[in-house]
Amino acid sequence: MTRLPQTGLLKADIIAKLPRFGLVGMVMFVAACQAPNLTMNRDSKAPVLTAPLRELAEPLPPNGIVEVRANDTIYSIATRYDVPPLSIVETNGLAPPYDVRQGQILKVIPRRTHRVGPDDSVYSISQRYAVSQYQLAQLNGLVPPFELKVGQRLLLPGTLDFSVLDTGIPAGVSGTGATQPKPTPIAAAKPPVPRKKFIAPAAGASGFRWPVEGEVIAEFGPSARGVHNDGINIAAASGTTVTAAAKGRVAFVGDNIKSFGKLILVKHDGGIITAYAHLDGIVVKEGDIVAAGQAIGAVGMTGRVDTPQLHFEIRKSRQPLDPRRFMS
């Protein structure tokens, strides 16, 4: 059996339906199924075929707040503002089947990008933004030998990878003397269990000290909507001094991670890194050697928080550790 041009119907199927169509109807149907004559010797004008329009790109509002329009889907919104659909889902805590309704308000976080400079390489960019070289190459379709062009704009992964930072601190800088607990696997997400409020003390007994004094408002571990908190959040008045938890070297200073706002990463011996996020002011720069208790910034509410607080993490390479295991 052969198929009619431009259709998925078999001739036998058409013949079977002839009694319902009638002769005239059959002739008109078959004529409509014929492929259009697009040659130069045709007798009439070629038909104009209109392809469906792709969602037109629009600039994202500065505050990242958008309103869902009629017939919108996660994918059309993602195309309109040039962001990954998964970013919209995660940012707004959407659940399957990820339906949105007209008038719904969504938060859209723009893609992080970097414009390549004369001395840039995949390695140096991964160090600058604390991201994985593999993810950076995969996201931008880079292949060995991973050559970059000056002025090239690269998309940056949306997650930090602390393991890309050199471990340890410079020779001649004494260690923290901190206990080195074994990493504990992250437990499966489960409903958060209310815990007694805890006021962070100024210092601990195992080599690390608390970076700020205040009420712990978010504990380490599973939190709302199944999200895992990789550190703790300490509430404090805006402008309160934040200090280094232990002696180390400032490895990263920046505000490129929108959810964290202004962020500092400090490297310590033993492959441990401490992170300080949502800062308002920063008084150190990358490469600085800081002492335990030395001021590095101030409490703020930058990033995705609506009250002044410090998000504090302790990591051993990629593994987040509960700060309470380091400090009383």
Q: How confident is the model at residue 167 (pLDDT cuts 50, 70, 90)?
A: very low
The whole-model pTM stands at: 0.50
Could you tell me what percent of the chain has a pLDDT over 90?
A: 23
CA atoms of 315 and 112, how far apart (whole Å): 23
Please report which helix (H) or strand (E) contains residue 12, including its range. Answer: helix 11-16
Average pLDDT over residues 6-13: 47
Give me the numbers of helices (H) and strands (E) for the chain, helices first please: 6, 17
Largest separation between any pair of C-alpha atoms in the chain: 97
Specify the residue for token string 């893609």.
Answer: 111
Q: Which residue has the higher pLDDT, 320 or 48?
A: 320
Mean pLDDT of 289-318: 90
Domains of the chain: 1-38 (no CATH), 65-107 (3.10.350.10), 113-155 (3.10.350.10), 167-178+188-325 (2.70.70.10)
CB 8 within 8 A of CB 18: no
- Return the percent helix, strand and coil in the chain, to nearest 5: 20, 25, 55
The single residue listed with the structure tokens 């004094």 is: 213
**What would the 3-class secondary structure string for 48-76 be?**
CCCCCCCCCCCCCCCCCEEECCCCCCHHH
Q: Residue 162 — pLDDT band, cuts 50, 70, 90?
A: low
In the chain, the amino acid numbered 125 is I
Poorest-pLDDT segment among 52-66, 172-186, 311-325? 172-186
For the cut 80, the answer to whether the pLDDT of residue 190 exceeds it is no
Torsion of CA 229, 232, 237, 239, to 10 degrees: -90
- Take residue 69 and report the two structure tokens written for it: 């329009």
Q: Which pLDDT score, from 0 to 100, does residue 142 have? A: 83
| Whether 316 contacts 193, CB under 8 Å | no
Q: Which two tokens stand for residue 52?
A: 């469906």
24 pLDDT above the threshold of 80: no
Backbone angles phi, psi at 107, to 5 degrees: -100, 125
Which range scores top for mean pLDDT: 76-80, 82-86, 266-270, 315-319?
76-80
Paired sense of beta strands 153-155 and 113-115, if any: antiparallel
- Check: CB of residue 154 under 8 Å from CB of residue 125: yes
d(CA 242, CA 36): 73
Q: Which residues contact 104 (CB under 8 A, 6 or more apart)?
A: 67, 68
Candidate from 96-105, 125-134, 143-152 with smallest mean pLDDT: 125-134
Highest-confidence range of 36-45, 182-191, 236-245, by mean pLDDT? 236-245
What are the residues facing 297 on neighbouring strands? 242, 282
Q: Which residues contact 198 (CB under 8 A, 6 or more apart)?
A: 215, 216
Tell me which DSSP letter residue 35 carries: P
**Cα–Cα dist 318/158, whole Å:** 15
List the alpha helices (DSSP H) in 133-252: 133-139
Burial of 278 (0-12, 13-18, 19+ CB in 10 A): buried
Backbone phi, psi, residue 176, to 5°: -85, -25
Q: At what angle do helices 74-81 and 85-92 cross, to 10 degrees?
A: 110
- Which pLDDT score is estimated for 199? 40
Task: Please state which of the ranges 84-88, 257-261, 266-270, 319-323 shows the lowest mean pLDDT.
Answer: 257-261
Percent share of the chain, pLDDT over 70: 66
Identify the residue whose tokens are 């062009």: 149
The C-alpha atoms of residue 220 and residue 206 are separated, in whole angstroms, by 19
Confidence at residue 15, expressed as pLDDT on a 0 to 100 scale = 47
- For residue 130, which of 310, 256, 288 has the smallest C-alpha distance? 256
pLDDT grade for 40, boundaries at 50, 70 and 90: low
